């Protein structure tokens, strides 16, 4: 079945450091890919998405590129801030049918000043 | 904009008790789903619905029941709570299965 694997955390970075959170997927066909973010005490919210190969999703300084050849969707940010501390989830959905999203296990990021 | 509203925010149950977690959305979304979040396990799908009157099981449905009598509401019922159901529960909705999810703020349930 479809699955998402993301790097295990926690990840601790100093402010202004570069961030990469790896995400790879297994799916039939051509899924859409998402990154969600969960701030403390809140539900998940969509951070960015990409719907086809080579698409780049971006938001709030975060970027991720849909790489079909490596089945990857790594999350990157050039300079993290303390306010980026959260749990990040990679997810996929099939582009057909009614199957709900499949999530990775999440990566906790802590940014220290 | 209320979005997805979950109640209660916190609940403590004793083993064997029953309760219903409420979820309502005001975006006229056809799709609704329930997830549980446990440390190290990420989000796991419990049940989902693709429209009023239609529900289906997710990855971890045992011990939970759902129904979808209206587009707006999708309650999750625990018939006989067990300590293994201690978790944070999230309800979500979206326009269709492939579109981004809108999440509620969660219900933290503890079963003693």
Nearest CB among B41, B96, B105 relative to A43 is that of B105
Q: Is A99 on the interface with B (CB under 8 A)?
A: yes
> Closest to B103 (Cβ–Cβ): which among A41, A44, A106?
A44
Contact A113, A82 (CB under 8 A): yes
Per-residue model confidence as pLDDT tens digits over B2-48: 799 999 999 999 999 999 999 999 999 999 999 999 987 788 999 99
Confidence of residue A97 (pLDDT cuts 50, 70, 90): low
Q: What is the pLDDT of residue B47?
A: 96
pLDDT at A69 over 90: yes
Q: What DSSP state is assigned to residue B102?
A: E
Q: Over 90: is that where the pLDDT of A41 sits?
A: no
Please, are residues A21 and A75 in contact by the beta-carbon 8 Å criterion? yes
Secondary structure of A91-103 in HEC code, one letter for each residue: EEECCCCCCCCEE
Structure tokens given for A48: 């960015």
CA distances (Å), B45 to each of A21, B7, B58, B61, in order?
A: 23, 19, 5, 8
Whether residues B105 and A95 touch (CB distance < 8 A) is answered with: no
Q: Do A101 and B42 touch (CB under 8 A)?
A: no
Residue B1 pLDDT class (50, 70, 90 cuts): low
- Mean pLDDT computed over every residue of chain A: 92
Using pLDDT thresholds of 50, 70 and 90, give the confidence band for residue A96. Answer: low
Residue A102 has pLDDT above 70, yes or no: yes
**CA dihedral over A27, B96, B70, A36, signed as positive or negative:** positive
What does the pLDDT average to over A26-46?
91
Is residue A30 very low, low, confident or very high in pLDDT (cuts 50, 70, 90)? confident
Confidence of residue A100 (pLDDT cuts 50, 70, 90): confident
Residues of B within 8 A of A97 (CB-CB) are 97
Nearest to A100 among B41, B42, B48 (CB): B48
Q: Is the dihedral of CA B62, B63, B67, B71 positive or negative?
A: negative
- Give the integer Cα–Cα distance in Å for A8 and A108: 8
**pLDDT over 80 (residue B67):** yes
B39 close contact with A: CB closer than 8 A: no
Nearest CA to CA, how far is A78 from chain B (Å)?
25
For β-strands B64-66 and B76-78, DSSP reports them as antiparallel
Angle at A16 between CA A10 and CA A17, to 5 degrees: 50
Contact B90 A44 (CB under 8 A): yes
**pLDDT tens for each residue of A82-95:** 999 999 999 998 76
- Average predicted confidence (pLDDT) for chain B: 93
Q: Which residues of A touch B48 (CB under 8 A)?
A: 100
- Taking CA–CA distances from B48, the nearest residue in chain A reads A100
Cα gap B85→B81, rounded to integer Å: 7
In total, chain B counts a number of residues equal to 112
């Amino acid at each position: 079945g479809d699955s998402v694997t993301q790097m295990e955390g926690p990840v601790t970075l100093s402010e202004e450091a570069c961030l990469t959170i790896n995400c790879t997927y297994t799916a039939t066909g051509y899924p859409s890919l998402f990154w969600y973010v969960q701030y403390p005490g809140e539900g998940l919210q969509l951070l960015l998405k990409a719907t086809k190969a080579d698409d780049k999703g971006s938001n709030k300084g975060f970027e991720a590129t849909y790489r079909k050849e490596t089945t990857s969707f790594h999350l990157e940010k050039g300079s993290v801030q303390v306010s980026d501390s959260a749990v990040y989830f990679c997810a996929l959905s099939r582009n057909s049918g009614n199957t709900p999203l499949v999530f990775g296990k999440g990566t906790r990021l802590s940014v220290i000043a | 904009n209320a979005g997805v509203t979950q109640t209660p925010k916190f609940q403590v149950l004793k083993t064997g008790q029953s309760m219903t977690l409420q979820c309502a959305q005001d975006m006229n979304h056809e799709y609704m789903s329930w997830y549980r979040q446990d440390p190290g396990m990420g989000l796991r799908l419990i049940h989902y619905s693709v429209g009023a009157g239609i529900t289906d099981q997710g990855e971890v449905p045992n011990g939970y029941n759902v129904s979808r009598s209206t587009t707006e509401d999708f309650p999750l019922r625990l018939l006989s709570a067990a300590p293994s159901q201690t978790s944070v529960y999230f309800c979500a909705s979206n326009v269709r299965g492939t579109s981004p999810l809108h999440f509620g703020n969660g219900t933290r349930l503890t079963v003693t």
